[in-house]
Each structure stands twice: as C-alpha cells, then as structure tokens.
Amino acid sequence: MTRSLAGVLGLLVPIAAVAAQPSLPVQLYRYTDDRGVVVLDRQGVPPEFVSKGYQILNAQGRVLQTVPPAPTAQEQQASSAKRAQAQADAKLRAMYSSVDDLERARQRQLGEIDGMIAQANGNLQTLQAQQASLQGEAANQERNGVAVAPMVLDQLEAIRQRRAEINAQIERYQQMRADANRSFDTDRARLQQLIEP
C-alpha cells in the first residue's frame, strides 16, 4: 500500500510541475491577404504577406506589436537621398563655420586656378615669340632664294602643336574655374540655409 501511494505520488509530482509552469500567451497575427481580406492566424504571417505589414495581438485582441509595411522603392530612394543630404550638410558645416570662411576658400581656390591660367598664358607668349623668330628666319631664307630648312619647319610645327595643347589646357582651367565657382555658389546658398534660422 505504501508502495502504491508512493508510486501515485511519483506520477503526480511531474504532472503538477507541468501544470505549475506558466503557459505561453496565445498570440494572433493579423494581416491582409492578397484579396484584401483581414486574416487572424495563430501560426504566423505567410512570407508573401510579411512585406505588407502586420500586427501581433494577445488572446484578448489587444495589439502587442505593429510591424509596418516594407518601404517602397520610392520611399527607400527618398530616405537614401535624405541621408546623403544630411551627410553633405554635416561635411559642409565641418568645412566652413561661416559664409566668410567659404568665401575665403573660394578666393584661394580661384586664385590657384588663375595662377595656372596665367602660367599657361606666359608659356603661350614665349611660344609666340619663338614662332615669330622662326617665321622671320624662314622668311629670310625664302627671300634669299633658299628653301626653308626642314629643321625650321619641324620647329614651327612643334610650336604649333604645343600652342594648341596649351590653348586646350587654358580652356580646361577656365572650365575648372567656372565649375568651382558654381560649386561654391551652391555651397554658399546651402550654408546660409543651415546657419540662418
């Protein structure tokens, strides 16, 4: 008899332990299917509907958590543009504490470009003087009835090519200057928006 009582107690203890454990709360998942019907499901949200967003409810129907719909491509693009603008603004504020700082930087950069243009123009003047000298030499040879020396012709052609290269270089510098000036104008306008309330 004692044994059977002990056996029964031995069986009851595990049952009581299981019964004493807190049961997991019942959760419902509420989502909208592809027909527009609101569905309540204990199993979860099917993968094809997760991106549309859903809600997790308790057994009484109270919303425990709302999972918003995944952003659209347009929303992602707008968010990305907003982040990029915020980074650009932070960089601009780090570079310039005031509009005056920006203007000093503009003058420095434009001054450097102007210096490169001036140097290129100086090189052009030197080449023009060399060209004039060689053309005078060629004219003297022709007046004396002598064919212009091939070396003189080669030098004139080399000068012509070099002048064309320098003129193209000056055009690039002038474009660089215009681009830099435009960029500073844009930065100035944005900096004023950020600084002035």
Average pLDDT, the chain: 88
Over residues 89-110, the pLDDT tens digits come to 999 999 999 999 999 999 999 9
3-state secondary structure of 40: strand
Q: Are 11 and 40 in contact (CB under 8 A)?
A: no
Q: At what angle do helices 73-95 and 150-195 cross, to 10 degrees?
A: 100
CA distances from 149 to 30, 76, 154 (A): 95, 71, 9
Q: What is the DSSP string of 150-188?
A: HHHHHHHHHHHHHHHHHHHHHHHHHHHHHHHHHHHHHHH
Which tokens in the block code for residue 53?
């967003």
Over residues 165-175, the pLDDT tens digits come to 999 999 999 99
How high is the pLDDT of residue 3?
52
Which tokens in the block code for residue 170?
């000056």
Over residues 3-35, the pLDDT tens digits come to 555 554 454 545 444 444 555 567 899 999 989
Over residues 110-152, the pLDDT tens digits come to 999 999 999 999 999 999 999 999 999 999 989 999 899 999 9
Query: Of 76, 100, 118, nearest to 192 (Cα)?
Result: 100
